[in-house]
Amino acid sequence: MRGLFLQALGNSNTVFSVEPAGEYLLIRFNNLVVKLYAYKCVKQHEDFEEELELRELQPEKPAAILPLTMFKTPLQLVQAAVHYELYRSELSRFRNKGLLLLLLATGHSQISDLLSDLRARYSESSHYLMFSIDGEGFDKTGCEVFKDYVQSVDEDSRAVLVKNISSLLSLI
C-alpha cells in the first residue's frame, strides 16, 4: 500500500490519509493522527482466555484479537481506529478498551453478542489479527506485521463498513 489521500476541493490540506509507516499505519483525519498496529498471529491455545493471557491483553489498553473468520476488509481496522479516537470521550463508559475496539471493528452493538461470536469464530480459525492503537497493550511474540491492506472495496466490504457505522451510532 503506497498511501490513500483525500483532499478538500480548493484546499491543499489533506482531509484523510492512510500511509504505511514501518510497523504501523499512520492515519490522518483532519487534525486527528492515529497509529494503527496490526499483526497476524498463529493461534497458540485452543482456549480464547488462555490466548488473551499469553498476549497480555489488558482491559485498559486499546488492543484486541480479531479471528480471521470475523475479518472482511482491512478498512474495518482503519474505521475502528478512527472511530475509537474520534468518539473516545462519548464511549468512555466502556471500561474494556479492547472490547470497544472490537465492537467498532465488527459492527456488534452488544458485548454479549460480540463475545459469543468471538469465541465461536476463534475456535474455527487457526490465525487471528491482533491490533492496537499506538502499539500498546500486548505481547506480539511469534506474530508478523500485517501488511495486506491492499483490497478492492466490493459490496460485501461496503456492507460491513455501513453496519459498523450503524453500530457506532447506536453506541454513542
- All structural domains of the chain with their residue ranges: 39-171
Cα 87 from Cα 82, distance rounded (Å): 8
Which residues lie across from 20 on neighbouring strands?
25
Cα 107 from Cα 76, distance rounded (Å): 9
* Residue 56 falls in which region: left (phi positive, over 0), alpha (psi -120 to 50) or beta: left
Low-confidence ranges of the chain (pLDDT < 50): 1-10
Cα 38 from Cα 8, distance rounded (Å): 29
Query: 66: Cβ–Cβ under 8 A, 6 or more apart, which residues?
Result: 77, 102, 105, 106, 128, 129, 130, 131
Residue appearing with cell numbers 483525500: 6
Cell triple for residue 27?
492515519
- Kindly report the pTM of this predicted structure: 0.82
Cα 40 from Cα 140, distance rounded (Å): 9
> At 28, which helix (H) or strand (E)?
strand 24-29
What is the chain's alpha carbon radius of gyration, rounded to the nearest angstrom? 16
